[in-house]
Structure 1
Amino acid sequence: MNVSRFLPRALRLVLLYSDVGPVACSLQKDVNLTGDIVYENVTFAYPSRPEKTVLKDLNLRIPAGKSVALVGGSGCGKSTIVQLLQRQYEPSAGTVRVGNTPLKEINLATLREGLGVVSQEPRLFSATVEENIALGSRSRVTHAEVEAAAQKANAAGFISDFAEKYETHCGSRGSQLSGGQKQRVAIARALIRHPSILIFDEATSALDNASERVVQAALDRLIESTGVTTIIIAHRLSTIRRADLIVVLGQRDDAGGSAVVQQGSHEELMKDESGLYFSLVQSQLAGLHGGDEEKEEEASTEVLVETTTNASVAAAQSMEKHPSFP
């Protein structure tokens, strides 16, 4: 008996139902996750640190079918927002909903099946490339479907270079693949389930510059072609410049807890030189001015500098046209 043939199904169940409590067993709604994602007056603190408020009165709308990037300083709650969407935790106060349906009324298995998640450290298993990709599907998939997902994820090229193609064994935790290859397999796995919502949580932050460019190209193409709601969390701000909407999180006062302090496109946000986003961009650029890190990040920095300069020029031109502008 070829036990590996049953591995994807078993692992799929583990992934789908892990951390699912009794709430998932109640008779909740099976709904299409195609509406806007709305956080309304959401406050949250982790159960292990109830005295530390992470989000305070957060109001955020993620438009359906758009790409939205979440940025901010360390600990500002970017990943927390995604965890609340996945229902790993419940808000301390407020409501999260998709369309007109609160998350707590949506069947948890249905909710998680509709989410395609690619994280910083993808979980690959000791199975073939094909099995790892097929693991993302809710039902049996054909080899052609696996190939199509790999093609969209920019993974088909390197897979075809392997002697055993899609039957290549990935090794324990994907040890036989490079970081960039593992990420692209993970992206293909997320895509093969045809998700309504894609989440990229620091998906390129652990990669070297060359691998990041390849993976980022795949992400950019996906965002443009799939038309699904996409949430991007990224430390490297150069990777989110093409997002339809950039949401900046920060503390509004001394009460603690983050909320939305700015939102707009990269160009719009860069016009506000007193804003947090402008400060984050400048700090990141300044941090890249030295030694090996500068060489490694050169290509990403050039793109960010170019868009930053363009935004500054546009702001200067606006000032010239409106000299009374404060």
Structure 2
Amino acid sequence: MGKGLVPCLAMVLVQFCFAGMNIVTKLALDTGMNPLVMVTYRQIFATLALAPFAYFLERKTLPKITTQIVFQMFLCSVLGATMNQCLYFLGLKHSTPTITCALNNLLPAVTFIMAVPFKMETVGIKKIAGQAKVIGTVVCVTGAMIMSFYKGKLIEIGHSAIHWAYAQNISASSSGSEVSFIGPVLVIASVVAWSGWFIVQSKMNAEFTAPYTTTAVMCFMASFECAIVAAFFEHSPKEWSLTSNIRLIGALYNGVMGSAVTFFLMSWCLEKRGPLYVSAFSPLLLVIVAIFGWAVLDEKVYVGSAVGSSLIVLGLYTVLWGKEKEMDPDMDDIAEKKTIEDIEMPPVHMNGKFNN
């Protein structure tokens, strides 16, 4: 497990970035900001943040860019940035953060199902590693559902000392969006698009290893794609203004942390560990959001949240253990060989001394 520590820490950081993005974005949307405008600014700021790193760190080692690679980058921009983010933010607007985070935890299951036909993941249900991946995925999703839809009794843990009154005032002063069935449907569609990005990105990483460049190009393409979509639905120049502090902070945070940092780290982890490993960390988002919600927004913690969080952590560890065991198949052979060598006794003379 030691060599998997860096990818693990990278994916935990990704979930912290996404947790902050959910909170800041919801506050910006509560001020009336169009989700499609937010996504467009997110791609623009992400491109500006990544371009210098791509140029100075990879320009001398950049692999040959073929027509196939350009097409794969385009698919990544459509699936991983434009479709995923537009659908997710629209779903967030027409739903609640709890429901969107819960449905987002379908990602490991959807990715696992989509990766199997492409032979990027194997079920291997007869092996312990395969059983661990399947069971762990089910436990993760179950924990996410319990955490989202089962409330239970209130757990008295006191009030946070860093409660953010400003955030509560924004939410209280906003009229809010009506919760309807279209919200969850849009979030589920975003999960499917995100899983598709995992598949395409993994295929591209096998031939083109340049995480800064691929992420920068993806965000650059998505900037135009999102701008076209947003301009079609939002014609008022006033709605594109970033004079509001929370809108500017939301756009900058989403671009730098929500896209530039997270997509680079995920691209790197996809190359090292594969799509299922990356998607398996998404359930941690619910746990982090719950903690941030209590600490910053003074939200209450209930039994459902505690039970769901425990199942999520348990399921996540099970999936990672199965993936680690699957990626090191020789470990079983080594252990078995060592056991056989241990039980083999050297020949002995009748006088009890070893025979050389």
TM-score normalized with structure 2 length: 0.23
Structure with more helix by fraction: 2
| Structure exhibiting the larger radius of gyration computed from Cα positions | 2
**TM-score, normalisation: structure 1:** 0.24
